[in-house]
Amino acid sequence: FLFGPTPFWPGPSDVEKWNLIERFILSRENGITLSDLVPFIDNPPPIMEDQGSTLPSHTVSGCLHILAHFNGVPISSSRFAFPEIVAERENGTNFDNHQNSAESGNSEMRWESILYENQSGFSSSNGRTLGTAPKPPEYLHEKYHVLTKLSRKEFGQCICLNLFNIIGILLLQNAISKEGSMLEIKNTTAFAFVSGIFSLLSFYAKFFFCLPLARLIFVITVNFGIKQRNEKRHGIAKVMAG
């Protein structure tokens, strides 16, 4: 609740990204163009109006990085083939495990998904029927950051526990003073010691809420950038699909 999930970055990891792109490449039997790879780069450009749009230089650089990683070979003036990964597939390499890890996790930007783990919202089958081939990805979808990975019940228990803690501390602080209080402490040294203890407990109770709140603001800000990139990739993929 205080420090959030570990690891902090939700993914997909670099290995998962490459496996997603590899599955996409293998789904194109006639080779691919640079434009086909745009929905899979880290920093996508604004949504293209059509497939013939000129790609920005940083976009071309990102696509060339993918080509270099998979040792793409030109088969025409604009299309590339990938004989190495095709040979791996023919040798029986299985990508199902990579798919499950890359496509699991928080893929929606909803309050309940950000605050705590929605245990009923994820299916390990990823929408596939047993025995069917995995559907090739249309674009790179980054997962969203979450505040905690607690269950809804555990998250509520943490909130309630600290609320009771704050209320109890405030009641005790108001009940203790030097004169005329319910729990009167006449000794100056003892009063200073008890006041110091309650100040420390009060600071901890506030910190218990302030730290997650600061993390929540950061998570929402970062998720907004992720949402924009995902929407750009999705829009570009739709344009590429025609």
Which residue is listed with tokens 């705590």? 116
- Residue-level pLDDT at 65: 94
- Residue-level pLDDT at 70: 92
- Residue-level pLDDT at 115: 83
- Considering only CA atoms, give the Rg of the chain: 27
- Residue-level pLDDT at 41: 92
Question: What are the residue ranges in the chain where pLDDT is below 50?
Answer: 95, 97-102, 104, 120-131
Provide the terminal-to-terminal Cα distance of the chain, rounded to the nearest Å: 45
- Residue-level pLDDT at 134: 64
Helices (H) and strands (E) in the chain, counts: 7, 4
- Residue-level pLDDT at 198: 84
- Residue-level pLDDT at 123: 37
- Residue-level pLDDT at 226: 92
Closest Cα to residue 101, out of 60, 61, 134? 134
Phi-psi label, residue 44: left if phi above 0, alpha if psi -120 to 50, beta otherwise:
beta
- Residue-level pLDDT at 28: 86
| 65-96: b (≥16 Cβ within 10 Å) or e | ebbeebebeeeeeeebbbeebeeeeeeeeebe
